[in-house]
Amino acid sequence: MTRTIIAIAGASASGKSLFSQTIYSELVNELEPGAIAIIEEDAYYRDQSHLPFAHRTQTNYDHPDAFEHELMLSHLNQLRQGESVDVPIYDYAQHTRSDKTRKVLPAKILIVEGILLLCDKKLCDEFNIKVFIDTPLDICLMRRMKRDMEERGRSLQSVIEQYTSTVRPMFYQFIEPSKHNSDLVVTRGGKNRVAIDIIKSKIKQLLQQ
Protein backbone atom coordinates (compact mmCIF):
# COMPACT_ATOMS: atom_id res chain seq x y z
CA MET A 1 0.00 0.00 0.00
CA THR A 2 1.28 3.48 -0.85
CA ARG A 3 1.42 5.80 2.12
CA THR A 4 1.96 9.56 1.92
CA ILE A 5 3.68 11.64 4.58
CA ILE A 6 2.97 15.38 4.52
CA ALA A 7 5.30 17.62 6.56
CA ILE A 8 4.12 21.00 7.85
CA ALA A 9 7.06 23.11 9.10
CA GLY A 10 7.62 26.73 10.13
CA ALA A 11 8.44 28.96 13.08
CA SER A 12 7.08 28.40 16.55
CA ALA A 13 3.50 29.80 16.72
CA SER A 14 3.42 30.33 12.95
CA GLY A 15 0.19 28.32 12.79
CA LYS A 16 1.49 24.83 11.97
CA SER A 17 -0.81 23.08 14.45
CA LEU A 18 -3.87 25.08 13.45
CA PHE A 19 -3.18 24.41 9.76
CA SER A 20 -2.59 20.67 10.31
CA GLN A 21 -5.48 20.19 12.75
CA THR A 22 -7.88 22.04 10.46
CA ILE A 23 -7.03 19.71 7.55
CA TYR A 24 -7.20 16.65 9.83
CA SER A 25 -10.49 17.52 11.57
CA GLU A 26 -12.24 18.53 8.35
CA LEU A 27 -11.27 15.24 6.67
CA VAL A 28 -11.29 12.65 9.44
CA ASN A 29 -15.04 12.00 9.45
CA GLU A 30 -15.34 12.23 5.68
CA LEU A 31 -12.69 9.59 4.91
CA GLU A 32 -12.74 5.87 5.66
CA PRO A 33 -11.73 5.08 9.28
CA GLY A 34 -7.95 5.17 9.78
CA ALA A 35 -7.21 6.94 6.48
CA ILE A 36 -5.48 9.92 8.09
CA ALA A 37 -3.32 10.44 11.19
CA ILE A 38 -1.27 13.27 12.65
CA ILE A 39 2.00 13.39 14.63
CA GLU A 40 3.79 16.37 16.23
CA GLU A 41 7.58 16.69 16.14
CA ASP A 42 7.36 18.12 19.69
CA ALA A 43 6.46 14.61 20.90
CA TYR A 44 10.08 13.69 20.09
CA TYR A 45 11.77 16.24 22.36
CA ARG A 46 14.36 14.23 24.26
CA ASP A 47 13.37 12.79 27.60
CA GLN A 48 15.02 14.89 30.33
CA SER A 49 13.47 13.28 33.39
CA HIS A 50 16.98 12.38 34.67
CA LEU A 51 17.91 16.11 34.87
CA PRO A 52 16.94 18.51 37.70
CA PHE A 53 14.11 20.88 36.72
CA ALA A 54 16.42 23.93 36.83
CA HIS A 55 18.70 22.30 34.23
CA ARG A 56 15.75 21.49 31.99
CA THR A 57 14.75 25.16 31.83
CA GLN A 58 18.19 25.93 30.34
CA THR A 59 17.94 23.55 27.34
CA ASN A 60 17.96 25.09 23.87
CA TYR A 61 14.65 23.69 22.60
CA ASP A 62 15.06 25.28 19.18
CA HIS A 63 18.27 23.44 18.26
CA PRO A 64 18.04 20.14 16.32
CA ASP A 65 19.93 18.34 19.13
CA ALA A 66 16.92 18.86 21.44
CA PHE A 67 14.96 16.33 19.40
CA GLU A 68 15.26 12.55 19.21
CA HIS A 69 14.81 12.59 15.44
CA GLU A 70 16.17 9.03 15.23
CA LEU A 71 13.09 7.80 17.14
CA MET A 72 10.79 9.85 14.91
CA LEU A 73 12.48 8.41 11.81
CA SER A 74 12.12 4.89 13.13
CA HIS A 75 8.40 5.52 13.88
CA LEU A 76 7.83 6.88 10.36
CA ASN A 77 9.47 3.76 8.91
CA GLN A 78 7.31 1.50 11.09
CA LEU A 79 4.16 3.36 10.04
CA ARG A 80 5.15 3.07 6.36
CA GLN A 81 5.46 -0.69 6.89
CA GLY A 82 1.96 -0.88 8.35
CA GLU A 83 2.92 -1.12 12.03
CA SER A 84 1.38 1.04 14.76
CA VAL A 85 3.65 3.10 17.05
CA ASP A 86 3.51 4.52 20.58
CA VAL A 87 4.27 8.24 20.24
CA PRO A 88 5.52 9.99 23.41
CA ILE A 89 3.36 12.69 24.98
CA TYR A 90 5.39 15.80 25.84
CA ASP A 91 4.89 17.93 28.98
CA TYR A 92 5.92 21.55 28.27
CA ALA A 93 5.40 22.64 31.86
CA GLN A 94 7.86 19.97 33.12
CA HIS A 95 10.19 20.29 30.09
CA THR A 96 10.26 16.54 29.57
CA ARG A 97 8.24 13.60 28.30
CA SER A 98 5.28 12.52 30.35
CA ASP A 99 5.01 8.84 31.28
CA LYS A 100 2.15 8.46 28.78
CA THR A 101 2.20 7.60 25.09
CA ARG A 102 -0.37 7.79 22.30
CA LYS A 103 -0.94 4.90 19.89
CA VAL A 104 -0.84 5.98 16.24
CA LEU A 105 -2.14 3.52 13.66
CA PRO A 106 -0.62 3.22 10.15
CA ALA A 107 -2.78 5.55 8.04
CA LYS A 108 -2.60 6.05 4.28
CA ILE A 109 -2.05 9.77 4.90
CA LEU A 110 0.18 10.91 7.75
CA ILE A 111 0.54 14.61 8.59
CA VAL A 112 3.61 15.55 10.66
CA GLU A 113 4.15 19.07 11.97
CA GLY A 114 7.08 20.75 13.69
CA ILE A 115 9.67 23.54 13.65
CA LEU A 116 12.75 21.60 12.49
CA LEU A 117 11.34 18.89 10.23
CA LEU A 118 12.81 20.33 7.04
CA CYS A 119 16.30 20.84 8.55
CA ASP A 120 16.95 17.11 8.84
CA LYS A 121 17.99 15.48 5.56
CA LYS A 122 17.01 11.97 6.66
CA LEU A 123 13.55 13.16 7.76
CA CYS A 124 13.13 15.26 4.60
CA ASP A 125 13.75 12.15 2.51
CA GLU A 126 10.72 10.53 4.18
CA PHE A 127 8.32 13.34 3.31
CA ASN A 128 6.31 13.16 0.08
CA ILE A 129 4.95 16.71 0.40
CA LYS A 130 6.76 19.48 2.29
CA VAL A 131 4.92 22.64 3.34
CA PHE A 132 6.43 25.69 5.06
CA ILE A 133 4.13 28.03 6.98
CA ASP A 134 5.58 31.50 6.47
CA THR A 135 4.31 33.91 9.12
CA PRO A 136 6.09 37.16 10.10
CA LEU A 137 8.15 36.63 13.26
CA ASP A 138 6.59 39.54 15.16
CA ILE A 139 3.16 37.92 14.76
CA CYS A 140 4.60 34.57 15.88
CA LEU A 141 6.06 36.24 18.99
CA MET A 142 2.73 37.82 19.95
CA ARG A 143 0.94 34.49 19.54
CA ARG A 144 3.65 32.64 21.44
CA MET A 145 3.50 35.01 24.43
CA LYS A 146 -0.24 34.44 24.77
CA ARG A 147 -0.07 30.67 24.18
CA ASP A 148 2.93 29.96 26.42
CA MET A 149 1.43 31.94 29.31
CA GLU A 150 -2.06 30.44 28.92
CA GLU A 151 -1.21 26.88 27.96
CA ARG A 152 2.44 26.08 28.76
CA GLY A 153 2.79 27.49 32.27
CA ARG A 154 5.27 30.27 31.42
CA SER A 155 5.75 33.83 32.74
CA LEU A 156 6.02 36.82 30.36
CA GLN A 157 9.63 37.32 31.43
CA SER A 158 10.58 33.70 30.69
CA VAL A 159 8.98 33.87 27.24
CA ILE A 160 10.90 37.05 26.39
CA GLU A 161 14.21 35.68 27.73
CA GLN A 162 13.86 32.38 25.86
CA TYR A 163 12.78 34.15 22.69
CA THR A 164 15.82 36.43 22.75
CA SER A 165 18.41 33.83 23.72
CA THR A 166 17.36 30.82 21.60
CA VAL A 167 14.02 30.97 19.74
CA ARG A 168 14.84 33.92 17.47
CA PRO A 169 18.52 33.05 16.75
CA MET A 170 17.69 29.40 16.02
CA PHE A 171 14.89 30.50 13.70
CA TYR A 172 17.40 32.42 11.57
CA GLN A 173 20.05 29.70 11.79
CA PHE A 174 17.90 26.64 11.10
CA ILE A 175 14.20 27.20 10.42
CA GLU A 176 14.16 30.03 7.91
CA PRO A 177 16.83 28.41 5.64
CA SER A 178 14.82 25.17 5.68
CA LYS A 179 12.03 26.99 3.82
CA HIS A 180 14.03 26.26 0.66
CA ASN A 181 13.56 22.53 1.23
CA SER A 182 9.78 22.89 1.01
CA ASP A 183 7.51 22.26 -1.97
CA LEU A 184 4.94 24.86 -0.94
CA VAL A 185 5.17 28.07 1.09
CA VAL A 186 1.93 29.06 2.81
CA THR A 187 1.34 32.63 3.96
CA ARG A 188 -1.16 33.59 6.69
CA GLY A 189 -0.69 30.24 8.45
CA GLY A 190 -3.54 28.38 10.02
CA LYS A 191 -6.29 30.47 8.46
CA ASN A 192 -5.22 30.35 4.81
CA ARG A 193 -8.41 28.78 3.44
CA VAL A 194 -7.11 28.40 -0.12
CA ALA A 195 -3.99 26.52 1.03
CA ILE A 196 -6.04 24.29 3.37
CA ASP A 197 -8.43 23.41 0.53
CA ILE A 198 -5.54 22.66 -1.88
CA ILE A 199 -3.94 20.21 0.57
CA LYS A 200 -7.35 18.62 1.29
CA SER A 201 -7.95 18.12 -2.45
CA LYS A 202 -4.50 16.59 -2.88
CA ILE A 203 -5.16 14.18 -0.02
CA LYS A 204 -8.50 13.10 -1.52
CA GLN A 205 -6.83 12.63 -4.91
CA LEU A 206 -4.09 10.48 -3.34
CA LEU A 207 -6.70 8.32 -1.59
CA GLN A 208 -8.49 7.65 -4.87
CA GLN A 209 -5.36 6.27 -6.57
Ligand X SMILES: Nc1ccn([C@@H]2O[C@H](COP(=O)(O)O)[C@@H](O)[C@H]2O)c(=O)n1
Ligand Y SMILES: Nc1ncnc2c1ncn2[C@@H]1O[C@H](COP(=O)(O)OP(=O)(O)O)[C@@H](O)[C@H]1O
DSSP per residue over 166-203, as a string?
Answer: IIHHHIIIIIHHHGGG-SEEEETGGG-HHHHHHHHHHH
Task: Kindly state whether residue 190 participates in binding ligand Y, applying the rule CB under 6 A.
Answer: yes
For β-strands 4-10 and 129-134, DSSP reports them as parallel
Closer by beta carbon to ligand X, 57 or else 84: 57
- Rounded alpha-carbon distances, angstroms, from residue 161 to 47, 48, 149, 199, 205: 23, 21, 13, 36, 45
Closer by beta carbon to ligand Y, 50 or else 193: 193
Residues from 10 through 29 that contact ligand Y (CB under 6 A): 10, 12-18
Contact predicate 14/182, CB 8 Å: no
Q: How far is the CB of 6 from ligand X (least distance, A)?
A: 16
- Rounded alpha-carbon distances, angstroms, from residue 196 to 25, 81, 90, 202: 12, 28, 27, 10
Helix (H, G, I), strand (E, B) or coil at 110: strand
69-77, 103-111, 119-127, 182-190 -> range binding ligand Y (CB under 6 A): 182-190
Q: Which does 15 bind (CB under 5 to 8 A by kind): ligand X, ligand Y, none?
A: ligand Y
17 marked as part of a ligand binding site = yes
Residue from 4, 27, 67, 95 binding ligand X (CB under 6 A):
95
Question: How many CA atoms lie less than 13 Å away from 200 in the CB half-sphere?
Answer: 18
Q: How far is the CB of 104 from ligand X (least distance, A)?
A: 18
Q: How far is the CB of 95 from ligand X (least distance, A)?
A: 4
Residue from 118, 141, 167, 186 binding ligand X (CB under 6 A):
167
Site string for ligand Y, 133-152 (x = CB under 6 A): ----------x---x-----
DSSP secondary-structure letter at 119?
G
Task: Kindly state whether residue 115 participates in binding ligand X, applying the rule CB under 6 A.
Answer: yes
Q: Which does 196 bind (CB under 5 to 8 A by kind): ligand X, ligand Y, none?
A: none
Contact predicate 168/144, CB 8 Å: no
Which spans of this chain sit near ligand X (rule: CB under 6 A)?
A: 12-13, 16, 42, 45, 61-62, 92, 95, 115, 162, 167
Which spans of this chain sit near ligand Y (rule: CB under 6 A)?
A: 10, 12-18, 143, 147, 188-191
